[in-house]
Amino acid sequence: MTSLDGTVLVTGGAGYIGSHTVRSLRAAGRDVVVLDSLELGRREAVIDAPLVVGNIADQDLVTATCNEYGVTQLVHFAAYKAVGESMENPAKYWRNNVAGTVELVEACLAAGVSDVVFSSSCSVNGTPETVPVTEDAAIRPESVYAESKAMVEKILSWYGVTNGLNSVSLRYFNAAGASFDGRIGEDWTYSFNLIPLAMKAVLLDDYQLNVFGDDYATPDGTCIRDYIHVEDLADAHVKALTYLGNGGESTAVNVGTGTGSSVFEVINATAAIAGRPVRHEVVARRAGDPVSTYANPDHALETLGWSAKHDLGAIVQTAYEWHLSQLDGSR
């Protein structure tokens, strides 16, 4: 029996990316159990997977859950992720994202779990010196949030040395979109991400999108990011677990499309699909925003056999349809 024959514990599995990954794991035939505090997650997003409500720092709960469900692998999403908040309330991020992860890993190790796929971020690289960004780019976080992700990557690496833990740190670029069947998507209530905010600006009469600067050294003056469809991102987690289960060595992997899209390109794509303009206003630049960042996805293909299948059009289309359905109550 390998770790692929057991159950996957998904922390934060009631959240946006977590819930899509739970569905992908279920579709791949894996048994899954979700641990989520439901502070930011939605019970209904878990759909048919068992849900344990609790905190990742509760070692007794984690160990009991692992033993009860026969957990052999962990996917760890549970974390706070608002960059601005992390600078205003850093202790919240150190306690949950870093210290909480240590408690979680200790409990999982006690239950015999030795494979971890970690939800990291391209923000660990800060403003990259060159694009596209490769995995050997300098680690230079520019926020407490990003530093918390970089610290956990390092912690997992040391657990590999001291305890034989195997880990894949998936450095996401900009996750976006919704499931193609319209079942789950990103709740814009708590989101600071461009695409759900663009949807807000096109669907709500009282909301206007802020564009933070249009005077950057880019073709249209706005910042460039790598937007990856959430279902593609979920698939990367499934492939990372398979990689570890087959004896793969610990590694960090950039998860992106390799294509950058500007803020105005996202706004224009949204307007085209919605058939109406996206209300927006250009305001001052925001501190800490890299001008341009997008992934070199070669390592993901070579290591995990993964590459993105969906483009910006599919991302915007699925996001628009999902947000529209939430407003009209059709789902």
CA atoms within 13 A on the CB side of 215: 5
Q: How far apart are CA 244 and CA 167, in angstroms?
A: 7
DSSP string, 98-146: IIHHHHHHHHHHHTT--EEEEEEEGGGG-S-SSSSBPTTS-----SHHH
Place of tokens 């957990």: 71
The whole-number average pLDDT for the span 155-181 is 97
Coil, helix or strand for 170?
A: strand
pLDDT in tens, 289-303: 888 999 999 999 999
What's the mean pLDDT when you consider all of the chain?
95
Q: What is the pLDDT of residue 329?
A: 53
The whole-number average pLDDT for the span 158-179 is 97
CA 23 to chain centre: 15
Domain boundaries in the chain?
3-175+228-255, 194-226+258-296+309-324
Coil, helix or strand for 76?
A: strand
Length of the chain in terms of residues written: 331
Q: What is the pLDDT of residue 84?
A: 86
Q: What is the pLDDT of residue 189?
A: 85
Q: E strand or H helix at 211, and its extent?
A: strand 209-212
Q: Which residues pair with 227 in a beta bridge?
A: 174
Q: Find out whether 232 and 240 touch, Cβ atoms under 8 Å.
A: no
Domain 3-175+228-255 has CATH 3.40.800.20: no
Percent of the chain with pLDDT over 70: 99
Q: Which residues are catalytic?
A: 145
CATH code matching the domain that covers 194-226+258-296+309-324, chosen among 3.90.25.10, 3.40.50.720, 3.30.470.10, 1.10.287.70: 3.90.25.10
Q: What is the pLDDT of residue 222?
A: 98
Residue 229 has pLDDT above 90, yes or no: yes
DSSP string, 260-298: -EEHHHHHHHHHHHHTS---EEEEPPPTT--SEE-B--H
Cα-Cα end-to-end distance for the chain? 41
Look at 84 and 95; give whichever has higher pLDDT: 95
Q: How far apart are CA 274 and CA 328, in angstroms?
A: 15
pLDDT confidence tier of residue 331, bands split at 50, 70 and 90 = very low
Q: What is the pLDDT of residue 328?
A: 65
pLDDT in tens, 264-315: 999 999 999 999 999 999 999 987 788 899 999 999 999 999 999 999 999 9
50: preceding bond cis by omega (within 30 degrees):
no
Q: What is the pLDDT of residue 330?
A: 45
Coil, helix or strand for 89?
A: coil
Q: What is the pLDDT of residue 127?
A: 87
pTM recorded for the entire structure? 0.95
pLDDT in tens, 15-67: 999 999 999 999 999 999 999 999 999 999 999 999 999 999 999 999 999 99
**Closest alpha carbon to 253 in 266, 274, 239, 271:** 239
Q: How far apart are CA 131 and CA 226, in angstroms?
A: 11
Percent of the chain with pLDDT over 90: 92
Q: How far apart are CA 79 and CA 172, in angstroms?
A: 14
